[in-house]
Structure 1
Amino acid sequence: MTREEKKLIRLRIIDLLDQCQGCPNRYVTNASIHICPSCPIGQQMQALGQKLWKRDERDEKKRAAVIAEIPKRRQWTTQEEEFLLQNLHMGCRELAKQLGRTYKSVHNKITNLKKRGRIHAS
């Protein structure tokens, strides 16, 4: 569904809300408007709302591809911790490259090791 089609649906919903002004089953709370689902206007709005929320198959495939690209968190191995402890002079960026981890991951691990007393602050 194109942006223009979505815009037209939203405008139609606004028109329907205006028609529903005098309905005794309509009530407004802080953040939303509740419409009677049994009246014809409410049913039309629900149908239009479903069109807006319906996900396109292509969108689902894109979403799945994006999720698949998110790197998974992995536990630090004893060998990685030892390498880190022996090579603190290299700096976080170089250590991250060597270990195949992100800068933030290495930085957080060093902070954690300092807290646990395995690295003495210098």
Structure 2
Amino acid sequence: MTREEKRKIRLQIIRLLDRCDECKHRTELGASITVCKVCPIGKKMVEISSKFENIPKQLEYLDGKPLRTPWEETEEQFIIENHDKMSYKEIAAELGRAPTSVQSKIKKMRRAGLVPRVTTKV
């Protein structure tokens, strides 16, 4: 599905929501809007929005590698075992990731209690 096709579908949904403003079945829950699936507008909304289902999420690539790849358990285990022995750059080179990515991951793992802070003695 192209970007333009997605845009057209979103505009259709917005128009339907505008028509649905006075509907007795419409409720607002915080930032989301619930539309009745029984009324004609609600049925049309469900029909249109179902076109967005099963669209695979495309990864953006740079130099043939995905910009964001999920961390594997083996990579996380490597960080746990080596965070106090190696620098961010060394870990990144070993794992084939960017140093900033490794640094960010270690910070997240510290917050989760998986990696203790390294203290240096004076």
User: Structure 1 length normalisation: TM-score?
Assistant: 0.55
Q: Sequence identity of aligned pairs in percent?
A: 28
Distance 2:34 2:88 in 1: 54
Structure 2, unmatched stretches of 5+, are: none
In the alignment, is residue 5 of structure 1 matched against residue 10 of structure 2? no
Structure 1, unmatched stretches of 5+, are: 85-90, 115-119
Larger Rg: 1
Q: Deviations 1:98-122 (Å, cap 9, x if unpaired)?
A: x9366746xx88943x3xxxxx613
Higher helix share: 1
CA gap of 1:111–1:47, structure 2 versus 1, over 3 A, is same
Q: Deviations 1:56-93 (Å, cap 9, x if unpaired)?
A: 3xx47x59x8576746222527xx97xx4xxxxxx947
Q: CA deviation at 1:54?
A: 2.9
Q: Deviations 1:23-49 (Å, cap 9, x if unpaired)?
A: 211122321221111112101111221
Give the root-mean-square deviation of aligned CA atoms: 3.9
Q: Deviations 1:11-33 (Å, cap 9, x if unpaired)?
A: 11111112222221112232122
Alignment of 1:31-110 (within 5 A): 31-56=31-56, 59=57, 62=59, 66=66, 70=71, 72-73=75-76, 74=78, 75-76=80-81, 84=85, 92=87, 96=90, 100=94, 104=103
Over 6 Å off, 4+ runs: none
Distance 2:30 2:116 in 1: 47
Higher strand share: 2
CA gap of 1:20–1:68, structure 2 versus 1, over 3 A, is closer
User: Structure 2 length normalisation: TM-score?
Assistant: 0.55
Task: Give the paired residue count.
Answer: 98
